[in-house]
Structure 1
């Protein structure tokens, strides 16, 4: 638990092959089911303040109350995901904190001098997210904040609840 940001709610992994990554989590670790979106539609996406046409696939699953996110970038547009892979990394790229009071959290991180690496929205103003460059030598410590006050929060709750009683059937489910 962060006294400043609340609990870490998600680990985000940037991968080169999202299907292989889901298979690993399902078959080796027993985590699922995965809710998969082949091409996420963002309302906007900015990398270091400039518009970027970044395209990605995302898969979400829970292990208890903790969410795992897999991200595969589908093009070469500027993003922190691309930077991470080009640096020779694959795997844990960020930790995420969720908030029903996104703007206050966003403003407080900016006031502390943390620059935004990339940000965007999915499904409207209550679907905003931002990744902050925090000073650290560890590439897996990128910080994401995510607004869960709208539909995204309801989706995350649904995924958590489905995972509680998952029996291994239908391990990859298309989400929209």
Structure 2
């Protein structure tokens, strides 16, 4: 438990091949079902303060209370995902903390000296997220994500699906 952010709710993996990554998690780890969004639509996305037209695919599944996110960036736009891959890395890139008081947590993090690496919004104001640049110390990036809107309900649906998953329909396209 973080005294600043609360409990870790998600581990995010940046991958080069999202379909191969889903297959690994399904067949080797037994985790699923995966909710796959091939072309994520962001309302906006900023990398280090500048607008970026990042394109990505994501897949989400739960292992118990922990959500696993797979992210494959599908263009060369600036992002922390691209920086991670360009540094020769692939795998665990961030830990996400979820909140229903996004602005309060965002302001608190900035007040403590955290710097935004990239941030954006999906599905309206209640779908904001920010990744703080914590690479000054080797390790995992910190993300905060607003779950007070539709995203929170979608995440609950994913968690329930995983709890009852019998192995059928391991990849579920989200449109």
Q: TM-score range by the shorter chain?
A: over 0.9
Structure 1 residues without counterparts, runs of 5 or longer: none
Residue of structure 2 in register with 1:49 after alignment: 49
CA deviations on 1:114-164 (whole Å, 9 max, x unpaired) are 11000000000000000001254324x100000000000000000000100
Give the whole-Å Cα distance in 2 for the aligned partners of 1:108 and 1:69: 25
Name the SS for the 1:25 alignment partner: helix
Residue of structure 2 in register with 1:167 after alignment: 166
Residue of structure 2 in register with 1:94 after alignment: 94
Give the whole-Å Cα distance in 2 for the aligned partners of 1:34 and 1:166: 10
CA deviations on 1:46-74 (whole Å, 9 max, x unpaired) are 00000000000000000011100000000
Name the SS for the 1:119 alignment partner: strand
The within-5 A match list for 1:94-173 is: 94-134=94-134, 136-139=136-139, 141-173=140-172
Give the whole-Å Cα distance in 2 for the aligned partners of 1:4 and 1:83: 26
Supply the RMSD in Å over aligned alpha carbons: 0.8
Give the whole-Å Cα distance in 1 for the aligned partners of 2:72 and 2:111: 31
Give the whole-Å Cα distance in 2 for the aligned partners of 1:55 and 1:112: 31
CA deviations on 1:56-93 (whole Å, 9 max, x unpaired) are 00000000111000000000000000000000000000
Number of residue pairs matched by the alignment? 175
Query: When the two structures are superposed, what TM-score results if normalisation uses the length of structure 2?
Result: 0.98
Give the whole-Å Cα distance in 1 for the aligned partners of 2:82 and 2:26: 25
Name the SS for the 1:9 alignment partner: strand
Query: When the two structures are superposed, what TM-score results if normalisation uses the length of structure 1?
Result: 0.98
Give the whole-Å Cα distance in 2 for the aligned partners of 1:101 and 1:121: 15
Give the whole-Å Cα distance in 2 for the aligned partners of 1:6 and 1:84: 25
Residue of structure 2 in register with 1:61 after alignment: 61
